[in-house]
């Protein structure tokens, strides 16, 4: 496969290879998809102010994050059912992240279990959890993550109710995927994907939810999972999880500065400014637009990461200049995985690494650790 020259090209390749319901599952957002589009457009709110005479013949793209030195400020964010896009998709993506020297975040809704990933992947990995109605299951997932030597725990807080994803409804796609005659017609129309997944699809399941005596079918598990989410979760639950988990704890889905400040007060180690990629609440503020107020609320007391809309290395540079410590990649990771498995994900990370390195050089920035902050940015318009 020739090297893709942009994230947009990875998206086109994924669209060509995947059945429409599977592609739209990754690509789509909630309702009118306004927040999805706003995440990408928000980067146009800022322009870079180069200072070429600062001298940047060599560039250091590494960042310090939660006690770890990462080679690049790009992390693979938690994305459910990655194993639907490529055989053993979670393991393939984790290996690519390890090769790049960065973090792989395993979704609670992964096809492979955290134990399977731990056995096949020696790199730095974080685990996503929710607050469930059954708090004992939340505790169980945290304990399993500790036993599997996950370096950090990500508590996602913006998925307590499932967003209305109208592309999925129109396609008849559900979590889990259905395999009726209508869906089968979509799937066999993409023979390369179908052939590569032919052994995976019959046993497709949510690995982290399989228990002895529990329903093994993905349909039964998905119905059970939806009923486990707890809209009544509260700050007391976050504080409780903090007492259970001895390592770094991240809160994902923070957009309001008041929530950011409260998270810092109860001992959360890092915040991920995120609107779930526009897949939950359509009309929510774009992640980049929310970032400055969140940073103002917490100062340097906790690390702040950005999730949503990053499609270029220069996008990452803008987020870092505003004060984010690193950025997470969701859809770009799935598009690249669908394109060429582990090789595709690594190529996507390398593409962004090269773009960021080039942008830093043209702006006269030699190190992200010494990034001159907003001095490299000029507002295109007033940021809400």
Q: Which residues are catalytic?
A: 276
| Number of Cβ atoms within 10 Å of the Cβ of 195 | 10
Residues 6 or more apart whose Cβ sits within 8 Å of residue 295: 304, 322, 323, 324
DSSP class per residue in 164-230: --HHHHHHT--SSPP-SHHHHHHHHTSHHHHHHHTTTGGG---GGG--TTS--SHHHHHHHHHHHB-
Pairing of strands 104-106, 125-129: parallel
The answer to whether residues 278 and 39 touch, using CB atoms and an 8 Å cutoff, is: yes
> Measured in Å, how far apart are the chain's first and last C-alpha atoms?
42
Quote the tokens at residue 88.
Answer: 């053993």
d(CA 278, CA 284): 8
Residues 6 or more apart whose Cβ sits within 8 Å of residue 140: none
3 state SS of 318: helix
Residue with tokens 């920035």: 365
Burial of 107 (0-12, 13-18, 19+ CB in 10 A): buried
d(CA 109, CA 103): 18
The answer to whether residues 70 and 103 touch, using CB atoms and an 8 Å cutoff, is: yes
- Which H or E run includes 64? strand 63-65
């Amino acid at each position: 496969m020739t090297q893709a020259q942009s994230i947009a090209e990875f998206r086109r390749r994924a669209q060509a290879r995947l059945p429409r319901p599977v592609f739209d599952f990754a690509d789509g957002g909630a309702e009118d998809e306004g927040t999805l589009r706003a995440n990408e457009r928000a980067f146009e709110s800022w322009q870079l102010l180069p200072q070429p005479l600062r001298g940047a013949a060599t560039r250091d793209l590494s960042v310090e994050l939660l006690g770890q030195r990462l080679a690049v400020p790009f992390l693979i964010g938690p994305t459910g059912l990655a194993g639907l896009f490529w055989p053993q998709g979670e393991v393939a993506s984790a290996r690519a992240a390890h090769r790049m020297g960065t973090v792989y975040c395993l979704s609670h809704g992964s096809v492979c279990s955290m134990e399977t990933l731990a056995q096949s992947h020696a790199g730095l990995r974080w685990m996503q959890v929710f607050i469930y109605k059954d708090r004992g299951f939340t505790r169980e997932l945290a304990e399993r993550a500790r036993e599997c030597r996950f370096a950090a725990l990500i508590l996602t807080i913006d998925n307590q109710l499932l967003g209305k994803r109208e592309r999925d409804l129109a396609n008849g796609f559900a979590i889990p995927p259905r395999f009726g005659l209508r869906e089968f017609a979509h799937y066999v129309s993409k023979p390369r994907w179908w052939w590569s997944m032919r052994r995976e699809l019959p046993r497709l399941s949510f690995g982290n939810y399989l228990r002895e005596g529990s329903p093994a079918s993905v349909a039964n598990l998905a119905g059970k999972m939806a009923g486990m989410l707890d809209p009544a979760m509260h700050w007391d639950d976050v504080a409780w999880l903090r007492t259970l988990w001895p390592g770094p704890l991240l809160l994902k889905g923070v957009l309001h500065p008041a929530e950011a400040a409260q998270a810092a007060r109860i001992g959360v180690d890092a915040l991920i400014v995120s609107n779930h990629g526009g897949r939950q609440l359509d009309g929510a503020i774009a992640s980049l637009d929310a970032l400055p107020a969140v940073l103002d609320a917490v100062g340097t007391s906790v690390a702040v990461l950005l999730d949503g809309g990053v499609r270029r290395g220069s996008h990452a540079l803008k987020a870092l200049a505003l004060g984010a410590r690193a950025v997470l990649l969701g859809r770009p990771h799935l598009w690249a995985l669908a394109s060429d498995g582990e090789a595709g994900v690594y190529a996507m990370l390398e593409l962004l690494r090269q773009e960021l390195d080039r942008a830093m050089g043209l702006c006269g920035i030699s190190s992200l650790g010494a990034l001159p902050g907003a001095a490299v940015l000029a507002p295109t318009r007033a940021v809400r």
